[in-house]
Amino acid sequence: MDMNARRDQWLLAIAGAADAAALAELDTRLFGSKGEVLDLVRTVTTLPKEERPVFGKAANAVKQEVEAALAARREQFAQRAMQKDLDTSDFDPTEPGPKRPRGALHPITIVQNELVDLFTSLGFQWQDGPEVESEYFNFDALNIPSDHPARESQDTFWLAEHAGLGKNLLRTHTSPVQVRTLQRALRAGFNPPLKVIVPGRCFRSETVDKSHEHTFYQMEGLVVDRVHGEHGISTANLIHTMKTCLRVILERDVQVRLRPGFFPFVEPGFELDVNCPFCKGQGCSVCKQSGWIEVLPCGMVHPNVLRQGGLDPEEYTGFAFGMGLQRVVMLRYGIDDIRQFMGGDLRFLAQFPEVSR
Ligand code: DAH
C-alpha cells in the first residue's frame, strides 16, 4: 500500500478510537517495538541507496504527523475526563482555597521592635554582644570582683573550662556589652556622645515560677559624653529618657519615681518605678497595694566601668539602664505569668497583633 494511503488509515483509526484505552492500544500498534509506523520508517534500509533520501524524508513526515494526531487525541480524552470530574464532583475551582495558618510576631519581639525604633529615633545605635560571655566582661569589668556578694545574686550558668580560654558563662545580663562597646568605640577613635542600646537574651540558673525564668530578655542602654562641653550627662537626662521610653511602650502618660538601688557598675544606682497601670496608682494586687511597679534598674556609670572602657572618669560621665523586656511586655499586655513567653502555647502567642509597625 502506498505510504499516503497508510497514513490516512492510521489517522482515521486515531480519530475513531473510542476512548483512552483504545488509543493506548493503538499507540502500541503504531509505535511499539514492532509498530507499523516504525516499520514504515525502517523499510528505508531495504531500498536502493538513491531512493533512500526521498523516501526517508517522506516517511519521517508521516511519522511526525501520526504522532501529533495521537497526542492531540490523547489530550482530548484527558480534557473530557477532567470535565467529567468537574461536572460530577462538588469541586468548585472558583472558590478561594482553605486559609493557611499564619505566624505572628512574639510579644517580646513586638515590644523590642518598638523600643529599637524609639531609641534609634533618639540617636541610639543598636549593639550586639555574645550570649556566651567571659567572666571578665560579665563581672570583673563591671566592678564585680570574684569575692563580691553581687555575684551570688546572679545564679550563673558556668561553662566547662578550656585551657587558655579563661572562665566562660552564659551572660547573666546585657550589661557586659557596656565595656565591650566602650573598648570598641575607643579603638575606632572615640567620638562622643556614645548612645547605644543592646537588646538581648540572658540566662540565669533560676527555679522557674510565675515571675522567674532561666532565659529572659533585657535591653541595656548606655549613654556616655564629656563632662565639660555641651552635653554633660546627668541624672536628669536619665530620668527624661526613661520616662519617654515608658510613655511610648505603655502607651500612656506615666509617672516615675526613683529609689536607691545597688548595682556595682553604677553610682548612684536606682530602681525606677512607674505608677501602676492596672489601678492607676490606687493600689492593687499587681503593685502589692503600693501604687508603684518596679520596672527599670539604672544609674550613673561607675568610674571603674569607664576606666575598664579606657575612659577617664574625670573627663566622661554617663548613664546606663537595664530593662527587663518580659516585665515591660507583661505590664503592657496585662500578662501575669512569665512562663507564657517560653511556653510555646500557640493559643497564647496568637493573641498578639501580627505586625506592630
Ligand atoms: N544588669 C543588671 C541586672 O541584670 C541591671 C542593670 C542595673 C543594668 C543597673 C544597668 C544598670 O545598666 O545601670 O541585674
What is the reported pLDDT for 151?
82
Closest protein CA for atom 8 of ligand 1? 322
In this predicted model, what pLDDT tens digit does every residue of 21-79 receive, in sequence order?
999 999 999 999 899 999 998 999 999 999 999 999 999 999 999 999 999 999 999 99
What is the reported pLDDT for 285?
85
Across 236-253, average pLDDT: 92
C-alpha distances out from residue 172 to 168, 169, 215, Å: 11, 8, 9
How far apart are alpha carbons 181 and 352 in whole angstroms?
A: 34
266 touches ligand 1 (CB under 6 Å): yes
Domain of 11?
3-87
What is the reported pLDDT for 304?
98
What's this model's pTM, rounded to 2 decimal places?
Answer: 0.72
Residue 356 has pLDDT above 60, yes or no: no
Please tell me whether residues 130 and 83 are part of one structural domain. Answer: no
299 touches ligand 1 (CB under 6 Å): yes
Sign of CA dihedral 328, 332, 338, 341: negative
How far apart are alpha carbons 131 and 168 in whole angstroms?
A: 10
pLDDT top residue among 92 and 167: 167
The reply to whether 357 falls in a domain is no
322 touches ligand 1 (CB under 6 Å): yes
Spatial CB neighbours of 269, under 8 Å, sequence gap ≥ 6: 260, 261, 262, 263, 297, 298, 299
Please tell me whether residues 69 and 124 are part of one structural domain. Answer: no
320 touches ligand 1 (CB under 6 Å): yes
The reply to whether 175 falls in a domain is yes
Question: The CATH number of the domain where 241 resides is what?
Answer: 3.30.930.10
Which residue bears the cell 550570649? Answer: 131
Q: Mean pLDDT across the chain, nearest whole number?
A: 91
What is the number of the ligand 1 atom nearest to the C-alpha of 172? 4
Please tell me whether residues 133 and 32 are part of one structural domain. Answer: no
Please tell me whether residues 151 and 247 are part of one structural domain. Answer: yes
Please tell me the total count of domains within the chain. 2
Strands (DSSP E) found in 302-334: 316-324
Please tell me whether residues 257 and 138 are part of one structural domain. Answer: yes
- Among 141-150, 159-168, 311-320, name the most confident range: 311-320
Please tell me whether residues 121 and 72 are part of one structural domain. Answer: no
Portion of the chain with pLDDT greater than 70, in percent: 98
Residue 205 has pLDDT above 70, yes or no: yes
220 touches ligand 1 (CB under 6 Å): yes
Please tell me whether residues 15 and 115 are part of one structural domain. Answer: no
What is the reported pLDDT for 163?
77
Please tell me whether residues 202 and 243 are part of one structural domain. Answer: yes
Please tell me whether residues 71 and 111 are part of one structural domain. Answer: no
What is the reported pLDDT for 357?
40
Please tell me whether residues 68 and 206 are part of one structural domain. Answer: no
- CA neighbor of 343 nearest in space, from 351, 354, 355: 351
270 touches ligand 1 (CB under 6 Å): no
Comparing 62-76, 90-104, 191-205, the range with the smallest average pLDDT is: 90-104
Q: Is 40 exposed, middle or buried (0-12, 13-18, 19+ CB in 10 A)?
A: buried
The reply to whether 245 falls in a domain is yes
Closest protein CA for atom 5 of ligand 1? 322
C-alpha distances out from residue 49 to 2, 40, 56, 63, 123, Å: 20, 16, 11, 21, 89
Closest protein CA for atom 9 of ligand 1? 298
Residue 37 is inside which H or E element, if any?
helix 36-42
Please tell me whether residues 295 and 336 are part of one structural domain. Answer: yes
How sure is the predictor about 230, in pLDDT bands with cuts at 50, 70 and 90? Answer: low
How sure is the predictor about 354, in pLDDT bands with cuts at 50, 70 and 90? Answer: low
pLDDT top residue among 3 and 356: 3
How sure is the predictor about 218, in pLDDT bands with cuts at 50, 70 and 90? Answer: very high
The reply to whether 295 falls in a domain is yes
Please tell me whether residues 73 and 196 are part of one structural domain. Answer: no
The reply to whether 56 falls in a domain is yes
Q: Which of 87, 115, 139 is the last residue of a domain?
A: 87
Q: Which of 87, 117, 144 is the last residue of a domain?
A: 87
Across 294-320, average pLDDT: 96
Residue 179 is inside which H or E element, if any?
helix 176-187
